[in-house]
Amino acid sequence: MIVLSTETPGDHWEIEALLDTAFAPGRTGLSSYRLRDGVDPVPELCLTARDDDAIAALAGTIRFWPVSIGEAAAPALLLGPVAAHPTRQGEGIGAMLILEGLERAADAGWERCILIGDEPYYARFGFRRSLAEAIAFPPPTNPNRILAKELIKGTMKGVTGTVRKWRAGKTRHAKT
């Protein structure tokens, strides 16, 4: 059985190793990482998936970062990175992590979530390219991979502009 837990500092290097295994080399060169530089992820939304046995091997990880969108600085969550260990893909671990993270995000009052990824995978969780057509990521980013989900219905309406790094001290749940 898989157990989901909130990430702790002791998970750090195991998570980095899993991400290095799951993603192509140079993952930290992606433009999405520039939005994460020097900004803490949202701790209660960063999760590990481990086997419920004596070894408790790390089978998956998800993290979410706060970002703001456009001149209006609309607060949003950036989903990712999310990964399942290559030997454990297709078991539903990615889905468990994403669903739990999104549920916690909604419970915490976040209104919208964005990501860069494949719509054929993320559509099952409610992410749509059509909701993200008015937003842009810093280059180089393939615009067709920018997706958004409304955690509260209607909250992507009127949200336009470039996704920016979160500013320290910003009020997280400010309505836009």
Ligand X SMILES: CC(C)(COP(=O)(O)OP(=O)(O)OC[C@H]1O[C@@H](n2cnc3c(N)ncnc32)[C@H](O)[C@@H]1OP(=O)(O)O)[C@@H](O)C(=O)NCCC(=O)NCCS
Smallest distance, ligand X to C-beta of residue 63, A: 12
- Applying CB under 6 A, the residues found at the interface with ligand X are 22-23, 80, 82-84, 89-95, 117-118, 120-121
Smallest distance, ligand X to C-beta of residue 123, A: 9
Cα three-residue angle 91-44-148, rounded to 5 degrees: 65
The residue (of 142 and 171) whose beta carbon lies closer to ligand X is 142
Smallest distance, ligand X to C-beta of residue 69, A: 19
Tell me how long the chain is. Answer: 176
d(CA 66, CA 169) in angstroms, rounded, equals: 12
Smallest distance, ligand X to C-beta of residue 36, A: 14
The residue (of 110 and 122) whose beta carbon lies closer to ligand X is 122
CA distances from 63 to 5, 26, 115, 130, 154 (A): 12, 18, 11, 24, 24
Please give the single-letter amino acid code of residue 164.
R
The residue (of 8 and 21) whose beta carbon lies closer to ligand X is 21
Q: Within 10 A of 91 (CB to CB), how many other CB atoms are there?
A: 15
The residue (of 75 and 94) whose beta carbon lies closer to ligand X is 94
